[in-house]
Amino acid sequence: MRQLLPRASDRVDPYDAYRPDDPHAPFLRLNMVASADGAVTDRRGRSGGLGGDGDRVVFRALRALADAVLVGAGTVRAERYGPHRPPEALAARRFADGRARPAAIVVVSQSLDVDIGAPLFTEAEVPTVVLTCAASDPDRRAAIERVGRLVVAGDARVDLAAGLTGLRERLGCAHVLCEGGPTLNAALLAAGLVDELCLTVAPQLMGGSGPRLAADLEPSRDLDLIAVCEQDGELLLRYRLTREWP
């Protein structure tokens, strides 16, 4: 992978390139892949058909740098989501950075319509967390607590800001990587909770009227471009967002 910005370099190591100066500071990074015409799903309604090797390498590096991977229940239902299993070399670098175990997967859900018999729960070395609100179904909450962990934030709706504070204070998850999807992204962006957007632009035109990176984003946001890498025609863009909502 080569880097074009902020400095030109023929070869960069994604773990080093994306590693924050303080890897344990509170940070929320959003990572998505989109086609050149802005589609975030392929024709099967998943993201798998969009990303190439460069996207996969960065995806793994970003997970290795995170304490927790936050994901919307819609994405878990649409994709085959499993627990974080870093490859050996990345696990060693993660360990050297003070992270002895894989990242916890944190599923945001109000309905609690999640398959607790799936490997995401049954095969997780670090228990999978479900972030929900007090109004969610108590029986489903109890069932989830038998196989994973539950963080309750908000009464009638999930309070994402309080949920992130809960993850930080109760589970020690400071550096959080959000992997979508568009509904969760929009809520996080609207709440001003995103520090950085990592966006892979795949060299494809997908057409159609499928979802974009953030559903229902109002008002629009400006982004500061801070880094650009490239591999096999894929652009790996990195944008900074300010925490304050304008």
Ligand X SMILES: NC(=O)c1ccc[n+]([C@@H]2O[C@H](COP(=O)([O-])OP(=O)(O)OC[C@H]3O[C@@H](n4cnc5c(N)ncnc54)[C@H](OP(=O)(O)O)[C@@H]3O)[C@@H](O)[C@H]2O)c1
Contact residues for ligand X (CB under 6 A)? 32-33, 40-41, 45-47, 50, 72-75, 78-79, 108-111, 113, 157-158, 160, 179-184, 187, 211, 215
Query: Closest distance between ligand X and the C-beta of residue 96, in Å?
Result: 28
Is 232 in contact with 54 (CB distance < 8 Å)?
Answer: yes
Pairing of the two strands 234-240 and 104-108: unpaired
Cα torsion at 115, 119, 123, 129 (round to 10°)?
A: -40
157 - beta bridge partners?
none
Which residues, in sequence order, are CB contacts of 208 under 8 Å at separation 6+?
39, 43
- Using the minimum distance from each CB to ligand X, give the nearer residue, 65 or 199: 199
- Using the minimum distance from each CB to ligand X, give the nearer residue, 65 or 131: 131
- Using the minimum distance from each CB to ligand X, give the nearer residue, 3 or 109: 109
Query: Closest distance between ligand X and the C-beta of residue 148, in Å?
Result: 14
Query: Closest distance between ligand X and the C-beta of residue 173, in Å?
Result: 18
Structure letter (DSSP) for residue 137:
-
Structure letter (DSSP) for residue 219:
S
Q: Give the burial class of 33: count Cβ atoms within 10 A of its Cβ; 0-12 exposed, 13-18 middle, 19 or more buried.
A: buried
**Nearest residue to 243 (alpha-carbon basis) of 164, 167, 125, 166:** 164
Is 32 in contact with 185 (CB distance < 8 Å)?
Answer: yes
Query: Closest distance between ligand X and the C-beta of residue 104, in Å?
Result: 17
- Using the minimum distance from each CB to ligand X, give the nearer residue, 130 or 173: 130
Helix (H, G, I), strand (E, B) or coil at 144: helix
- Using the minimum distance from each CB to ligand X, give the nearer residue, 174 or 201: 201
Cα 123 to chain centroid, rounded? 20
Is 123 in contact with 82 (CB distance < 8 Å)?
Answer: yes
Query: Closest distance between ligand X and the C-beta of residue 53, in Å?
Result: 16
Query: Closest distance between ligand X and the C-beta of residue 160, in Å?
Result: 6
- Using the minimum distance from each CB to ligand X, give the nearer residue, 1 or 184: 184
Query: Closest distance between ligand X and the C-beta of residue 150, in Å?
Result: 13
Distance CA(37)–CA(44), nearest Å, equals 17
- Using the minimum distance from each CB to ligand X, give the nearer residue, 3 or 47: 47
